[in-house]
Copies of this chain bind each other. A is one copy, B any other.
Amino acid sequence: MENKFAELRKRYEETAALGSARAVLAWDQRVTMPPGGAPGRARSMSALARVVHGKATDPEVGRLIGETWDWAQAKGPDSFEAAYLRVLKRDYDRATRLPSDFVAEMSAAASAAMAAWEAAKKNSDFPSFAPHLEKMVGFNRRQAEFLAPGEPAYDTLLDLYEPGMRRAELEPLLGELAEGMKPVIKAISESSAAVSDDTLKGDFDEKAQLALADELVRELGFDFTKGRQDRSVHPFTTGFSLSDIRITTWTMRDWLPACVYASLHECGHALYAMGAPAGFEFTPLAGGAGLGVHESQSRFWENFVGRSRPFCEWLLPRLRRHFPGKFDKTGPEELYRAVNKSGPSFIRVEADEVTYDMHIALRFRLETALLDGSLKVKDLPEAWNAGMKELFGIVPKNDAEGVLQDVHWSQGTIGYFPTYSLGNLMAAQLNEAMRADMPDMDGLIARGEFAPLLGWLREKIHVHGARYFPADLLRRATGKERDAAPFVRYIKEKYSGIYGF
């Protein structure tokens, strides 16, 4: 049986190595490729995708999974072998249940939808995008039906991004989160506290921003011998092996936090990826437990560390060094308040910690309604604007800054948005547990001693890769079930301090 498992591993390694090649091509496309390269690159990418798909759905893989299953389970449900087969079987079943014609059709429709979305967003022209969105909703329904016939579609889609999560568990969590934020949002709107982010506006040399970003992620523990940081249109993290993890950031000349916090965020993803044990290299266990857990890592470093008071104390002299003269009159408390300024806003990716999850709540509400047909695509802009009015008290002036702002639905991903909130919520739980274990966490951060924090995450989260379901992983790390209360507590305490309520 060892031989059969070894054979399965060999096959998987080959497939993973080719998948990794495809990721290199995608990184290059977003970071370094000249514009002329696009058509040729599309051909290389799709040729490679066909090869990877062929290997991933090879019936021999299915046969070997079946033959080794009981042998692996006998080693215990948490054994490397059992976990390996569980994740591999999940991916294999998914890949083989979707007919390849359907995959090709959906992928082509998504390409067309993304192009239509880009144009529609530019012209704030929802009707031109509506038929594409209609199609993508249909594709999502069919995809769910192929994957789990008869099951609730949203559960099936959600499980693609957050293994084991179901709508019945998700909905109360998101509800509790939103309910918890409402009084905070109200208190902030009524507060007369002076919170200004003027110090973060101005003219910040972009090379200096990038140099600062490199320094920050290095201090956090990003290993530049095993990764790099570049610039791209939208920040992202990717990896080709456990020792080649790449992040990107962006810069806005007149708004410093864009670069700083994108870097901290992507660095959080990268530290998770870099922290898998060497034995997980080119195995199904290398990719992390799910998108929510991934997001908990990025949000932990971005917000729970990066927007904390001690971090601002540590950051300030660095800002002064990279931008001479710019922060001479800014104190640490002013910086802390500036990076935490909160208020209703139209754009999710620019939202602060308090309001961010309200944006997710809106998307969750709308995408579930689209999927079950209770909301028609043509009525979506109206529903969006009504939701913005209800949740934030503001209405976008056009669909570009409203319903058309995000790429996700055009890509055909429904069930993805909630993982952002799950990330916030789990980050808060990890933060509470870590502070209980390390009472001087603020002191460590203020002194730039991030290694103990990373060490804690390594031990509790990173080394497990995809071995456990997200809920099990969290329970092992914190002793708790997923729970919105720690996040609500954290926000209330932090923001009552800043806004004095």
Contact = CB atoms under 8 A, between A and B. Distances in A.
Interface of A: 13-14, 17-18, 20-22, 24-25, 28, 32-37, 39-41, 43-48, 50-51, 223-228, 240-244, 281-282
Contacts of A32: 32, 228
A374 to B, nearest CB: 44
Contacts of A50: 14
Contacts of A14: 47, 50
Contacts of A281: 40
Nearest to A35: B225
A225 B34 contact: yes
A50 to B, nearest CB: 8
A148 B435 CA distance: 72
A227 B281 CA distance: 33
Given A36-B223, A227-B36, A48 B18 contact: yes
B228 A40 contact: no
Contacts of A22: 21
Nearest to A21: B44
Contacts of A48: 17-18, 21
Contacts of A37: 226, 240-241, 243-244
Number of copies: 2
A43 B21 CA distance: 9
A361 B25 CA distance: 41
Contacts of A225: 34-36
Contacts of A240: 37, 40-41, 44
A50 B17 CA distance: 12
Given A21-B21, A24-B28, A44-B17, A34 B282 contact: no
Highest count of chain B CB atoms <10 Å: which of A24, A25, A37, A51: A37
Contact of A51 (B40, B41, B51, B223): B51
B241 A34 contact: no
Given A18-B47, A21-B45, 17 more contacts: A14-B47, A14-B50, A17-B44, A18-B44, A20-B43, A20-B44, A28-B28, A34-B244, A36-B225, A36-B226, A36-B241, A36-B244, A37-B226, A39-B243, A40-B240, A41-B241, A43-B282
A241 B28 contact: no
Nearest to A246: B34
Contacts of A282: 40, 43
Contact of A33 (B13, B20, B223, B244): B244
Contacts of A241: 36-37, 39-41, 43
21 contacts: A13-B43, A14-B50, A17-B46, A18-B48, A18-B51, A20-B40, A20-B44, A21-B25, A24-B44, A34-B224, A34-B226, A34-B227, A34-B228, A36-B243, A36-B244, A37-B243, A39-B241, A40-B243, A40-B281, A40-B282, A41-B241
Contacts of A39: 241, 243
A50 B18 CA distance: 11
A280 to B, nearest CB: 12
A21 B14 CA distance: 16
A47 to B, nearest CB: 4
Nearest to A226: B36
Contacts of A24: 24-25, 28, 44
Contacts of A46: 17
Nearest to A241: B40
Contacts of A18: 44, 47-48, 51
A70 B436 CA distance: 80
A241 B28 CA distance: 14
Nearest to A33: B244
